[in-house]
Amino acid sequence: MNVDIRVPIGGMFFMIGLILTGYGVVSIGNPEMYAKSLGININLWWGLVLLAFGGSFLFLGWRAEKTGKKE
């Protein structure tokens, strides 16, 4: 069994991104929480970054498994 390391790492980052994005969406109406970050919803933005990063790892791992080549 030959598992590409990008698949579990991508899955981990994708799941953390989902949790962080969900928390950011739920806490949009709480401006005092984000007073220290100049009113920027850090949880939402970093959650989206982690979703994109994990999604790209999952895509690259899936593509490598589908074509049968290792990069």
Which range marks the domain in which residue 15 is found? 6-67
> What was the pLDDT predicted at 71?
57
Residue 55 lies in a domain: yes
Domain count within the chain: 1
9-27 b/e with 16+ CB inside 10 Å = b? ebeebbebbeebbeebeee
In this prediction, the residues of the chain whose per-residue pLDDT falls under 70 are 1, 69-71
> What was the pLDDT predicted at 30?
84
Residue 51 lies in a domain: yes
Residue 53 lies in a domain: yes
> What's this model's pTM, rounded to 2 decimal places?
0.83
Residue 1 lies in a domain: no
> What was the pLDDT predicted at 31?
84
> What was the pLDDT predicted at 58?
93
> What was the pLDDT predicted at 69?
62
Residue 58 lies in a domain: yes
